[in-house]
Structure 1
């Protein structure tokens, strides 16, 4: 441990770091990152194009990609209908931001990583406090070594008081000794920050991190008690992720100001605890990016890199040795495979002996294919149907066709699909958007941004794709027409990753209204 780190950790709670906190956004703090071309920053553009080719050839679904070298963006692209102006759900990439909020609170002397968790929740403690629960520190929350017998998030999010539920779980192991992935532990970090600052993590980070870096438009889900979910629930733009990665690469410095102590960044991103597991037949431990050690809500990677990551491939990869940052938003099941392509194509492109000039114009034309098929069918007749009783509480469904679009509505929920093209809109259709974890969202769906497309796959079958382009996910909606009846079936993209799984929404059945 370096002298600066030891000094910081020993004195942080006694001598708060002097933070520069802007009172409001200014023109200075809303500027984009500087742009450059790969060759000027010692990167071969052909390696970047090889990466894009491999992503599409191996059928990984990326939504955005950005690569920085020496603090400048050298490549960027969004797969339509995703775009730079839209936020994207981060899932567990949110954890790294929560960790950073803890870092600011430590730097300001509001808490220490050695503080006991029970000290913050006097009103939520169980009647009997076990020895292990009493010993649990903030540091154990950060390193996912709380000692829980079972991962408690699924139980926690079903209750009204999440902190009380977490503290009531069995702590079977001595905290700090065993790693177990634990999103609820990150929620507890968020709750602690709110207890000591009287602000949500989002509000607390805004003047300290988001405003100085010029990041706007971010959103964060909350629990029933108004605490940001911490371990998930943040939505942010791709460039916001890239700025965060550059901030970490610069060890807390931005535009000549030290926003967060160097020692905290070093402490948060270093190896703290080993994940369980070892060599496997198809992959040795040294090539497994989930077995390189864990920090304070950051994963160590192969080599000297570290990252924040979220389900389905939300990545901020920081490469200190190469002075580079790589950011991706995605919907992929095989996240290790996605990282493998980074190591295979992008890493060798950095500091190539003779960087090759290549046109990256292709990155401006990236797109996810809309629904394919035919734009017309004998069944393409505008019609309204009365639905049988269903769990979604819908009474009617209607279809109309014309001018290159198909308009679908159910009760007062309307979605317009481009025929073999994307059509943007917004709707709060019941049961949407798909999500991996239930906690943090209101029971009644809020309007979601939707890009929709449709096509006829045969004379009687209309398939709609509803892509929720501020999330990783989509719905495939199949409408089977048979005379005066229709059956509308749903398959969300999370369920589709498991061939044996079925969508929780039962098909809607209806007959033509008289």
Structure 2
């Protein structure tokens, strides 16, 4: 974190929240078996409490998924303040060469503000359809617009992509390049990456990777209504507009996804608002309490995390400092030091290890594009060898019942860049080898359960969180030769 300017640290009590309240928050997370990776709680602009579940670390950037949208909205705020565009500008006006031959009345009426509020007029998310061609802008403009813009909420990541495309069109810069001097430099954020479409435009609605402290600073900037270290870097009027109720999204459920939507920010219960991303990436701003909470995680039930925040932390904020409580502080410090995600602990070895040792299995065609699979064992470790026709063989280090750090390339993540991982293995039964890969810059943990069936290998692949939760992919392979 050498290039990252750190926020000031203090004790929870000094910032008006008890250490015991933070402990209760951690207890509730554990009791509900929610897989948090990190949290950072700010009060009055200082870090009151923070923690990382090892092997996640403070310096690791985490995939933000749709929390990226709030950063894209902020870029539009900067551009509007500089007179580069207006939220009232028609979307079709930015791309005259990409518009369809016939422009419907609803498409003609679509403005930048409608992209921001997820009120484009589309009946549903069009992102999947837009991505079928390499020209996402043209694909978006050719989608039917069933409703008058501003009258119908449909969460639509392609709308955020269009904001990124508009910004690049009017500035000549990428979204990230535009934000660096305006947002990243003043706040002292870490060096970021942002995924792009086939034409090199930032995806906008997802694809940004930042540290937990970066997320917390971003929330603090909004809590301070765009002011940072005494300088108004983002207009207060934009912050107010972006985080206020812009469109109704009530679908009858009494939760934090039905409280209204702003400009790429969700309204919450209790007067709060947030940016969030799939599988539990949160930037929660609580203006009435002058607090910010940043969380990264790998959870399927995102509402469950928010419910714990509202029940354990929100009521615990006082208006001023509390008396020191050294015993509670010591207990909290111990809890924070002990935060971890343990590797699986079953049988450390099996007689079947010798049967699997070094054998290369050629896998049937599969969704993972896994062509070959092999494991080489040592006393306290193993090497997993994964074959892919495009990426070649990758050797991943595994600890025996313990995490071991390495890297792996996965095409679907960060455009194939090498990802940090922690790997381990154990024997669930005498004939079932469990290999676990925790990608510590993402929400994902991958399990391979391997079972020999004569000369064949059966792999069952699953993930802790996924777009199709609970799905198990079964892949079979045949022994080729000894490695």
TM-score norm. by structure 1 comes to: 0.87
The CA distance in 1 between the partners of 2:477 and 2:461, in whole Å, is 9
User: Does 2:449 match 1:473?
Assistant: no
| Of 290, 298, 301, the match for 2:268 | 301
2:347 is aligned to: 374
Aligned pairs (5 A) from 1:177-216? 177-216=151-190
Q: Is the 8 A contact 1:153 1:183 kept in 2?
A: yes
| Of 448, 465, 476, the match for 1:494 | 465
> Which string of whole-angstrom CA distances, capped at 9 and with x for unpartnered residues, describes residues 75-125 of structure 1?
101111111110000011000000000000000000000000001011110
Q: Is the 8 A contact 2:68 2:207 kept in 1?
A: yes
Displacement, 1:453? 1.2
Change (3 A) 1:220 1:319: same
The CA distance in 1 between the partners of 2:337 and 2:440, in whole Å, is 18
Displacement, 1:342? 0.1
Change (3 A) 1:497 1:365: farther
Displacement, 1:428? 2.0
1:408 is aligned to: 384
The CA distance in 1 between the partners of 2:290 and 2:305, in whole Å, is 21
> Which string of whole-angstrom CA distances, capped at 9 and with x for unpartnered residues, describes residues 26-61 of structure 1?
x9x842000000111111110100000000110111
> Which string of whole-angstrom CA distances, capped at 9 and with x for unpartnered residues, describes residues 470-493 of structure 1?
110111111113455432321123
Q: How many residues align?
A: 469
Q: Which runs of 4+ in 1 moved over 6 A?
A: none
The CA distance in 2 between the partners of 1:44 and 1:216, in whole Å, is 30
1:174 is aligned to: 148
Displacement, 1:395? 5.1
Displacement, 1:410? 2.8
1:351 is aligned to: 318
The CA distance in 2 between the partners of 1:33 and 1:100, in whole Å, is 21
Q: Is the 8 A contact 1:43 1:352 kept in 2?
A: no
Displacement, 1:389? 4.3
State the SS of the aligned residue for 1:506: strand
Displacement, 1:400? 1.8
User: Does 2:248 match 1:274?
Assistant: yes
Q: Is the 8 A contact 1:62 1:79 kept in 2?
A: yes
User: Does 2:482 match 1:513?
Assistant: yes
RMSD over aligned Cα atoms: 2.1
State the SS of the aligned residue for 2:442: coil
Q: Is the 8 A contact 1:460 1:482 kept in 2?
A: no
Aligned pairs (5 A) from 1:228-307? 228-278=202-252, 280=253, 285=254, 288-307=255-274
> Which string of whole-angstrom CA distances, capped at 9 and with x for unpartnered residues, describes residues 431-471 of structure 1?
765xxxxxxx64xx332211111101111111011111111
Change (3 A) 1:374 1:497: farther
1:461 is aligned to: 432
1:420 is aligned to: 401
Displacement, 1:355? 5.9
Displacement, 1:243? 0.5
The CA distance in 1 between the partners of 2:210 and 2:95, in whole Å, is 30
2:48 is aligned to: 74
Aligned pairs (5 A) from 1:51-70? 51-70=25-44
> Which string of whole-angstrom CA distances, capped at 9 and with x for unpartnered residues, describes residues 112-144 of structure 1?
000000010111101100001000000000000
Displacement, 1:495? 4.4
1:338 is aligned to: 305
Aligned pairs (5 A) from 1:381-400? 381=354, 382-391=357-366, 396-400=372-376
Q: Is the 8 A contact 2:438 2:445 kept in 1?
A: yes
The CA distance in 2 between the partners of 1:420 and 1:367, in whole Å, is 14
Q: Which moved more, 1:222-231 or 1:448-457?
A: 448-457
The CA distance in 2 between the partners of 1:38 and 1:497, in whole Å, is 39
The CA distance in 2 between the partners of 1:230 and 1:497, in whole Å, is 23
The CA distance in 1 between the partners of 2:412 and 2:166, in whole Å, is 31
Structure 1: runs of 5 or more not aligned: 1-26, 434-440
The CA distance in 1 between the partners of 2:190 and 2:27, in whole Å, is 32
The CA distance in 1 between the partners of 2:78 and 2:412, in whole Å, is 35
2:98 is aligned to: 124
The CA distance in 1 between the partners of 2:216 and 2:468, in whole Å, is 28
TM-score norm. by structure 2 comes to: 0.93
Displacement, 1:512? 4.7
> Which string of whole-angstrom CA distances, capped at 9 and with x for unpartnered residues, describes residues 368-406 of structure 1?
121221211112233222414434565543322224112
The CA distance in 2 between the partners of 1:182 and 1:214, in whole Å, is 30
The CA distance in 2 between the partners of 1:302 and 1:396, in whole Å, is 50
